[in-house]
Amino acid sequence: MLGSGPDEEILLCMLFPHINRQGDDLVIENVRLNKKWIFNSSLGQWEKYSGYILTEKERLVMNYAVNGLDVRQTAALMNKSVETVKDYRKS
C-alpha cells in the first residue's frame, strides 16, 4: 500500500498467496503490527482482512439472513435448494 498524501504511509511488507476455496486471494500482512489486508479483485481495492473470506454466494446468504429472511425465502430468491443454502450458511 503506497500512499502519496500527507496522511498516508508507505508500508513495507511481505506478500503471500492465501489459500482458500478459490485459492486466488492475495493478502498483505504487517507482522510487526499484526494487521492484514486482502485484495478485493471485484472492487479493485485492498480491504482489512478479518480472517474470514466468504464467496459471493456465502456473502449473499449472510446478507439475506441479517435482513431477516429464513432459509426457504433465501433459497427461493437465489433459485437454489434449501440444502444448498444451508451449506452456504455452514461455510
Q: Looking at the predicted structure, is the pLDDT value of residue 24 above 90? A: no
Q: Read off the pLDDT of each residue in 8-16 and give the average, rounded to a whole number.
A: 58
CA distances from 71 to 10, 40, 55, 76 (A): 45, 27, 18, 9
For the beta carbon of residue 25, count every other beta carbon within 10 angstroms.
Answer: 16
Q: Give the confidence band of 15 by pLDDT, cuts at 50, 70, 90.
A: low
Q: What number of CA atoms fall less than 13 Å from residue 17's CA on the CB side?
A: 6
pLDDT tens-digit readout, 32-89: 777 788 877 777 888 887 766 678 888 899 899 999 999 999 999 999 999 999 998 8
